[in-house]
Amino acid sequence: MKVEVEEPRCVAAGHCAVAAPEVFDQRDDDGVVVLLNAAPPEHVDESVREAALLCPAAAIIVRERDGSS
C-alpha cells in the first residue's frame, strides 16, 4: 500500500496517530499529521485503513497494493 496525506486538510484530531502510530504522528506545534512511512509494511495495512476511515477531514489517501484506492 501507498499512503499520502493532504496536510492542508488535516484538522489535527489525532485519530491517525492513535490508530497507526507506526505510520502517522503529529507535529508538536499544531498537531497536523506527519507521515512517517508512505509505504508501510503489510502487517500494518489494517490499522492504516482504519486511520483513513477515522480521519474527520479525509486527509489520508490509501492506495492499495493492487493499484486501487
Q: Which domains does the chain have, with CATH numbers?
A: 2-63 (3.30.70.20)
Contact 1, 63 (CB under 8 A): yes
Does the reported pTM lie above 0.85?
yes
Residue 67's pLDDT band (cuts 50, 70, 90): low
For 9-40, write each residue's pLDDT tens digit.
999 999 999 999 999 999 999 999 999 999 99
Task: Give the span between the Cα atoms of 44 and 42, in whole angstroms.
Answer: 5
Pinpoint the alpha helices (H) of the chain: 15-19, 45-54
Which amino acid makes up residue 26? Q
Q: Which of 20, 12, 8 is nearest to 52 (CA)?
A: 20
Task: Give the span between the Cα atoms of 48 and 40, in whole angstroms.
Answer: 9
